[in-house]
Amino acid sequence: MSEVRRVHDVSGVPTHAFSHHNLVWWGTVGFIVVEGFTLFLMMASYLYLRLNELDWPPGDTRLPELLIPTINTLLLLVTIVPMAKASHAAHHSDRLAVARWLWLATALSAVSSVLRVFELRGLNVRWDSNAYGSAAWGLLILHTTLLVVDLFETGAFAVLFQLGHAQRKHFPDVSDAADYQYYLSVIYVPIYLILFWGPRLL
């Protein structure tokens, strides 16, 4: 039997932590990297397919509508505010404030998701019309999938905090959810530019 020396007592180390001190935050960042890169590759594919055509949109395909996508892009950017507030409240362990801001963010996300239906319709092309249509739908659907998943997550957290089932470890999770929301909103800006201004300018 060998002697064991007590050198590192970690009982004083915190059990709940935010941002990079927290293990879950790293997973969120990992998924942001993977999903962000997937969206980047989809944007690159869209631009690659553009090289095959003289006109973009090709043939007599109509230009996509601008109004709803522009509104939705701004709306997604605005959603950052309540999420940032929720994150701030989470840092202060203010359960009801977190719930309040999460409800607002959920509502805004829900509106974004509904507007997405009109954005898809406003592309003025079907996915099976030509490669342009396929790429446009592909890019928009990919982002929409993430948006809807995020909507459910934010909503679930809102319920959790409203009903008082939230534990200490869920406060950092709200902060991570906020970081994810920032990414989802910001990455839509290049997607919006490519999808709706691209056919006008490229």
Partner 1 sequence: MVTIEDALTEQPLDPGEREKLERTWQPCPGFRGWLTSVDHKSVGKRYVATAFLFFLLGGLEASAIRLQLARPENRLLDPDQYNQIFTMHGTTMMFLFGVPVVLASATYLIPLMVGTRNISYPRLNAFGYWVYLIGGLFLYSGFILNTGPDSGWFSYVPLAGPEYSPGKRMDVWAQTVTFTEIAAIIAGIELIVTILKQRAPGMSLHRMPLYVWAILVTSFVVLFAMPSVALASQMLAFDRLVGTHFFNPAEGGDPFLWQHLFWFFGHPEVYIMFLPAAGFASEIIPVFARRKMFGHTAVVLALVATGFISFGLWVHHMFATGLPQLSQSFFTAASLMIAIPSGVQVFCWIATLWAGRPRFDTPLLFVLGFIALFVLGGITGVMVGSVPFDQQVHDTYFVVAHLHYVQVGAFVFPLFAAFYFWFPKVTGRMLSERAGKWNFWLFFLGVNITFFPMHFLGMMGMTRRIYTYLPETGWGDLNLLATAGAMLIAASVVVFLGNIAWSLRRGGLAGENPWDAHTLEWATSSPPPPYNFTHLPVVEGLYPVWERSAERPVVTGLSAERREILVTTVLDAEPDSRHENPGPSIWPLLSALPVGVTFIGGIFTPWAFVIGPALMLPALIGWGWPQAIPPDDRSIEEVAA
| CB nearer to partner 1: pick between 21 and 200 | 21
Find the binder of partner 1 among 137, 180, 188, 192 (CB under 8 A).
137
Nearest distance from C-beta of residue 27 to partner 1, angstroms: 6
| CB nearer to partner 1: pick between 2 and 201 | 2
The two tokens of residue 124 are 């003025």
Residues within window 150-179 making contact with partner 1, judged by CB under 8 A: 152, 156, 160, 165-171
Give the span between the Cα atoms of 127 and 164, in whole angstroms: 45
- By CB under 8 A, is residue 121 in contact with partner 1? no
Residues within window 56-85 making contact with partner 1, judged by CB under 8 A: 58
- By CB under 8 A, is residue 6 in contact with partner 1? yes
Nearest distance from C-beta of residue 197 to partner 1, angstroms: 20
- By CB under 8 A, is residue 131 in contact with partner 1? yes
Residue type at position 77: L
Give the span between the Cα atoms of 81 and 178, in whole angstroms: 10
Cα separation values, 136 from 123, 144, 150, 151, 191, Å: 8, 12, 21, 22, 10
Give the span between the Cα atoms of 97 and 90, in whole angstroms: 8
Find the binder of partner 1 among 22, 79, 106, 112 (CB under 8 A).
22
Cα separation values, 172 from 154, 161, 164, 175, 200, Å: 13, 13, 16, 5, 43
Cα separation values, 52 from 43, 61, 64, 192, Å: 15, 15, 19, 21
Q: Which stretch binds partner 1 (CB under 8 A): 79-87, 98-106, 131-139, 190-198?
A: 131-139
Q: Which stretch binds partner 1 (CB under 8 A): 77-85, 112-120, 125-133, 181-189?
A: 125-133
- By CB under 8 A, is residue 201 in contact with partner 1? no
Q: How many residues bind partner 1 (CB under 8 A)?
A: 62
- For every residue of 146-173, DSSP letters joined together read HHHHHHHHHHHHHHHHHTT---TTHHHH
Interface contacts to partner 1, rule CB under 8 A? 1-18, 20-23, 26-27, 30-31, 33-35, 37-38, 41-42, 45, 48-49, 52-53, 58, 91, 93, 127-135, 137-138, 152, 156, 160, 165-171
